Amino acid sequence: MFFISGFILKFKNAKAVVRQIQSGEWDGIVNVIGGEIYTAERNGYRLWLANGPFFCEIDEFNGEKCAPAFGLVWRHYVWWMAARSIRLKKHVPIL
């Protein structure tokens, strides 16, 4: 029973994050060395984007490690539905 409830909870987390990304609530954080976006942040949460769908996961809350929010299956859902749009944005420096 725990497996099913955990699976449903991770699905709801993934749906919420996809909806938030599509509405523009997550901000991509630009790596100052390479100029690429490796993470996104929202209200203290950090979404890791650098390695594609296998590692697309919320990994920190206010600087501390946290339990995975999506799991292996729903990471791909978040990546392909919304997160890759953040990753693909290019950093344009302001002169």
Number of domains composing the chain: 1
**Across-strand partners of 29?**
39
Residue 37 covered by a domain: yes
Residue 94 covered by a domain: no
The whole-number pLDDT of residue 90 equals 64
The domain in which residue 63 lies consists of 2-88
Residue 93 covered by a domain: no
Which residues fall within 8 angstroms of residue 35, CB to CB, at 6 or more apart?
A: 90, 91, 93
pLDDT tens-digit readout, 18-72: 999 999 999 998 888 877 889 999 999 999 998 999 999 999 999 899 988 999 9
Residue 80 covered by a domain: yes
pTM for the whole structure: 0.85
Closest C-alpha to 14, from 82, 92, 85, 88: 82
